[in-house]
Structures are given as structure tokens and as C-alpha cells.
Structure 1
Amino acid sequence: MDNVSVVIIFTLSGINETVNYRVTLFSLTLLYYCIILFVNISLIMIIILNENLHEPMYIFLCNFCISGLYGTTGFYPKFLLDLLSSSQEISYSGCLFQAFIMYSFACSELSILAVMAYDRYLAICRPLHYHSFMTKKRLSQLVCFSWLTPFCIFSINVLLTSKLKFCGSNIEKHFCVNWVIVKLACPETDTVSNSVIAYATIFIYVSHGFFIIWTYMHLITTCVRSTEDKVKFMQTCMPHLISLITCTVAVVFDLMNMRFGSKDLPQSLQNFIATEFLIIPPVMNPLIYGFKLTKIRNRILGLVYIKGKLPLP
């Protein structure tokens, strides 16, 4: 194809193996998406409506849940429609938009985990200086950082992709991601800029990872000295650590599969690896924080107790 404008529709062929059980998959996916919406929106509303939870840790957690809603909304509605459709297609602009959402969601999760690690480091390792460091202004800056960093990076990424000339329109996945779109570019097309931005993005988020490791080294060193700090670590840092490991493993698996994965793997397994970061963290994170953080758990139990005491009409 001589011009990028020729490609106006991409075909998502990763869903082809589901032909024989699409109704079942649609029902399970719809149910699971409803669970994602329920647990995340519930936790967000609990934090917003309870003034006792208007603290940095809970505000970051609220953003974590919003990020989960943002990423899953970029995938599940389109996937559900594709399961009911005889042809799985997406417009050129829609594909770029979905790719932007997928990447920015995954990286916003890592950015939020990084600022949450910083918050826990200040609270446990620098408790006397916590309130002087974690002011409302600093809190706003950290929240903006966790959202604007991935948004700016992937705006550039998608903009560069939109300027490529394509010689193919078949995406061997069930949703759009930037790296797969770039691979459809014509052989003579210059993709150096895309590669540079991709490696720069990897460097930025590997740096996030090293920062989180550094903060946890200090946290663990501090907590082993005091029983009180051990309790605080187990209550507030363990959910964060579990979320970090889950998110990192899911994203790394997907990246490794895209770059080096074998095409001999069953398509269903490839689909699961690709969407693992959209399946496990969005449900697991609010559940872990909801049950582990004492203030949120007490609030949930209080609501359940009050409802149980209401007289029947």
C-alpha cells in the first residue's frame, strides 16, 4: 500500500478460535466486567464519601482504582461486541486510540505504584517529616505525575505510529497494541523514531522499578527494627507489594510474548497472556486493599452491619 490513508480498517484475528463458544465466553466476560466495575467503583465511592479516608495513601488507592476502570473500559466493551459480531474489525483511528489506552493504562499503574511506594517510604522511614513532605501541593503533583507521564509518552508514540505507511491490516491479537501496529508498516518505512521512543519508555519504567526496589529496601531495613513498624508494613505495604508483583509479571509476560513469543502457542493461551494485566489486577487490587487496609475494611463491615440491621418493609 502506497499511502497510510489506504488502511482505514484493521482486522483483529486473535478472536477467531472462539467461534464455537462465543456465547459462553461473552456471558463470562460480561459477568467479570461487571465485577470489575462493582469492586472498583465501590472502593472509589467509599474513599470519596468518607472524610476519614481523605489521606494520601487512600487518594493514591482511589487513583489506582480509576486507572483500573480506565484500562478495562478500553478493552472489555469492544471485546464483548466482537464476540457477538461475525467480523472483528476496528477503524484505523479506533485502533490507535485503543493502543493508546492499553499502553497508558499499564504504565499509569506502574507510575501510581511508584508514588505509592514513595508515600509508604515517607510514612514509615520518615514519619516525623511526613506531613511536611506530603503536603496537598505535593500530593497533587504526584497524582498529576502518575497520569501525565504515561499520557505524554504514549501521545508521542501513537502520533509517530499514525505517520507510518502500512502494508497490512491484519492484527494477530484480539485488541490493538502499538508494537503490533508498527510491525504492519511497509518494509521501506522508517520506524527508527518509534523504536527510540519504545526503548526510552522501557528505560523510564525500568527506572520506576528500581526506585520502587530502593524504597522497599529502606522499608524492610526500617521495619525489622520495630514491632510497630512491622505491623504497619504488613497492613499497608503488603497489598502494595502484591499489586506491584502482579502488575509487573503480567506486563512483562505480555511484552515478552509480543517480542519473542512463539506463534506455535495456542491462540487462546496467547490471548490470556496478552490480557492478563486486564484480567487479574483490576479485580485483585481493590479486593486486597479493601480487606487488608483497616479503615476501608471497617467501613465496608460497617455498611454491611448497618444494612443487616435495617428492618424489612
Structure 2
Amino acid sequence: MSDSNMTDFTNPSTFILLGIPGLKTAYVWISIPFCTIYAIAVMGNFTILFIVKREPSLHEPMYYFLCMLAVTDLLLSTSTIPKTLNIFWFNSREIDFSACLTQMYFVQCFSVMASGILVAMAFDRYVAICHPLRYSTILTNSVVAKIGLAVVLRSGMLIMPNPILAKQWPYCRTNIIPHTYCEGIAVLKVACTDIRVSSYYALSVAFLVTGVDVSFISVSYIQILRAIFSLPTKDIQLKAFRTCGSHLFVFLIFCIPSLFSILTHRFGQNVPQHVHVLIANVYLLVPPMLNPIIYGVRTKQIRNSLLGSSLIT
């Protein structure tokens, strides 16, 4: 298909994903870290799922939430990276219109879902540290299942209007999207109509989800920090600080690039396009790679189970 910027269609059968504008000659080199990080993410998250399923002592709320995060990370990264690598390696840039909207929905849905699970994990740590004697009665299997269902329903319902609205708009200027995947606002920008309804809704959802989740996580960790200061020894305090710090670091790595991508589409006209596209890929690649390390390998029970499995084999 031609890369012409002007077309005479109203509803395209396909879109063209340009990849990373201006960096086409470097695609082979760029694909190496992309592929490596994705492979680590897949291997790490599947390892977490395998260990938790295999080890009965890990059948606890904390590890159930960790498994939810692992599944979400796998789905989030897999919804975009295989297509991105196809662009880098085989110049396979066409994507069906319906597939594009589906990809847009799943990227946004799994992003909101991951954020919700991080909130649930912060709540789990709050109960474990601040109310240890009531932990098993507060976070029962039934409560964990309800929290997981609420996270899924929240993300699915909040994001559903985005592809529905996007499908209604006419696309009569171009079918070329300067991105590696069907990022929401990047798709809407090629529509030849007033997209303020979609734009304002997407922005509202982004800030609502981020604001609510950051607030809940902040409250949880403030209470956790207050409990930490009352711990008897410096060693225990330092260990708790490390755990909290690493968890907050993962949330910020996930949250900041996502907000940057959304705000750049609207207000960052001076930001180079290739920088924007690269950062938009960071929160789809880096957190799924880091989460198994931060929440898994650094967790004593999982580390011991992993070492035990290695010794057996």
C-alpha cells in the first residue's frame, strides 16, 4: 500500500503503522532491546505463575494479586510488541481497521487493569503491616476474588467508550499512524472530524484513574510508613523501606510515561515524534519486565521456591 498522506476513503479497511518516525534505518538495532525486554518479561511472568501454582505455601492473597499482575503484564506487552517487532523486522506495517481498534482497547484496558492491581497490592501490604493479626480475616479468598473482579470491570467499562467512539468517526485524510501500535490519541488524530468528545473523555479517564489510584496508594503507604517507624529495630525498618520504595518505583515507572504520552499528544507539539513514540513504549515494556523482579525474585518465599526448583532439576 502506498504511503501517500492523502486518500479518498471514509472508513479505511486498514491503517499503516509507520513505526518510529525518523529512525527506520536503526530498526534492527532498536529491535534488540525491545525483543530482549519482551523475552525477559514473558519468561519472568510465566515463572511467577508457575511457582505460585506449584507451591501450596504461596496460595495467599499477596501472591494471588501478584499472579493477576503477571497475567495483565503478559497481555499488555503481548498486545503490542509482536506487531512492533514485525514492523522492525519485516516492514509489516498494515493493520486491519477493526484489529487496530481492538488493539487500542486492550492496551488501554490492560493499562488501567495493571494500575488497579497495583492499588490492590498496596492495600494488601497495608493490611499485612498495619493489621497483621486480622490479615487472614480481612483478605479472604472471597474478598480477593471480588477485588480482582472489580479491577477487571472498572477497566473494561471505563475504556469501552473509546473504541466505540473511534469507530464512529470518518477517516478521510489519511490512514497513516506515526506509531508502533494503535495508541488511542494517535488513531483519533487521523480522523477528519471534531474528536473533542473522544479526546476529553480519554483525558478525563486517564486523570481520574491516575488520581484515584495514586491517592489510594499514597494513603496506604503513608499508613505503612507510620507503622514502619514504630518497628523495634533499624534492620526491620530498612527492609520495610526497601519493599515500599521498590513498589512505589514500579508504579511511577508505569504511571509517568503513560501520562507523558497522553499529555504530549495534546500539549507537546515541540517534543520530537520519535521521542514520544519511544516513551509511549516504555510503560508497555519496562514494568512487565521489572514486576517479576521487584515483586518476585526479591520476595523471599518466591526466591526460595525458585532456588528449590533449580536444585531439584
Q: TM exceeds 0.5?
A: yes
Q: Matched residue of 1:11: which SS?
A: strand
Match of residue 46 from structure 2: 41
Residue 266 of structure 1 deviates from its aligned partner by 5.9
1:216-247 Cα shifts (integer Å, max 9, x gaps): 11111111011376366346534322211221
Aligned in 2, Cα 1:67/1:88: closer, same or farther, shift over 3 Å? same
**Kept after mapping to 2: 8 A contact 1:11/1:89:** yes
**Kept after mapping to 1: 8 A contact 2:126/2:224:** yes
Structure 2 matches for 1:233-312, cutoff 5 A? Answer: 233-234=240-241, 236-263=243-270, 265=272, 267=274, 269-307=275-313
In 1, Cα distance between equivalents of 2:169 and 2:7: 11
Residue 185 of structure 1 deviates from its aligned partner by 2.3
In 1, Cα distance between equivalents of 2:9 and 2:156: 24
Match of residue 177 from structure 2: 171
Aligned in 2, Cα 1:146/1:91: closer, same or farther, shift over 3 Å? same
1:4-38 Cα shifts (integer Å, max 9, x gaps): 86322112123353432434444553333222211
In 1, Cα distance between equivalents of 2:160 and 2:61: 28
Q: Matched residue of 2:110: which SS?
A: helix
In the alignment, does 2:192 pair up with 1:186?
yes
Residue 87 of structure 1 deviates from its aligned partner by 5.2
Residue 171 of structure 1 deviates from its aligned partner by 1.2
**Kept after mapping to 2: 8 A contact 1:39/1:286:** yes
Structure 2 matches for 1:1-313, cutoff 5 A? Answer: 6-86=11-91, 88-167=93-172, 168-187=174-193, 189=194, 191-192=196-197, 195-196=200-201, 198-227=203-232, 230=237, 233-234=240-241, 236-263=243-270, 265=272, 267=274, 269-307=275-313
Aligned in 2, Cα 1:288/1:181: closer, same or farther, shift over 3 Å? same
**Kept after mapping to 2: 8 A contact 1:164/1:185:** yes
User: Structure 1 length normalisation: TM-score?
Assistant: 0.88
Which structure exhibits the higher relative contact order, with contacts defined as CA atoms closer than 8 Å and separated by 6 or more residues?
A: 2
In 2, Cα distance between equivalents of 1:227 and 1:4: 70
In 2, Cα distance between equivalents of 1:264 and 1:214: 34
Residue 299 of structure 1 deviates from its aligned partner by 1.1
Structure 2 residues without counterparts, runs of 5 or longer: 1-5
Residue 84 of structure 1 deviates from its aligned partner by 2.9
**Kept after mapping to 2: 8 A contact 1:235/1:293:** no
In 1, Cα distance between equivalents of 2:95 and 2:270: 23
In 2, Cα distance between equivalents of 1:19 and 1:245: 30
Q: How many residues are matched?
A: 305
1:238-267 Cα shifts (integer Å, max 9, x gaps): 432221122122222322333322355262
Residue 122 of structure 1 deviates from its aligned partner by 1.2
Residue 208 of structure 1 deviates from its aligned partner by 1.3
In 2, Cα distance between equivalents of 1:197 and 1:21: 32
In 2, Cα distance between equivalents of 1:65 and 1:190: 34
In 1, Cα distance between equivalents of 2:198 and 2:81: 31
Q: Matched residue of 2:20: which SS?
A: helix
In 2, Cα distance between equivalents of 1:95 and 1:138: 36
In 1, Cα distance between equivalents of 2:199 and 2:164: 10
Residue 279 of structure 1 deviates from its aligned partner by 2.2
Q: Matched residue of 1:90: which SS?
A: strand
Match of residue 311 from structure 1: none
2:211 aligned partner, one-letter code:
V
1:263-308 Cα shifts (integer Å, max 9, x gaps): 55262x333211011221111110122232110111112222333x
User: Structure 2 length normalisation: TM-score?
Assistant: 0.88
CA RMSD of aligned residues (A): 2.5
1:135 aligned partner, one-letter code:
T
**Kept after mapping to 2: 8 A contact 1:235/1:294:** no
Q: Matched residue of 1:227: which SS?
A: coil
Aligned in 2, Cα 1:190/1:266: closer, same or farther, shift over 3 Å? closer
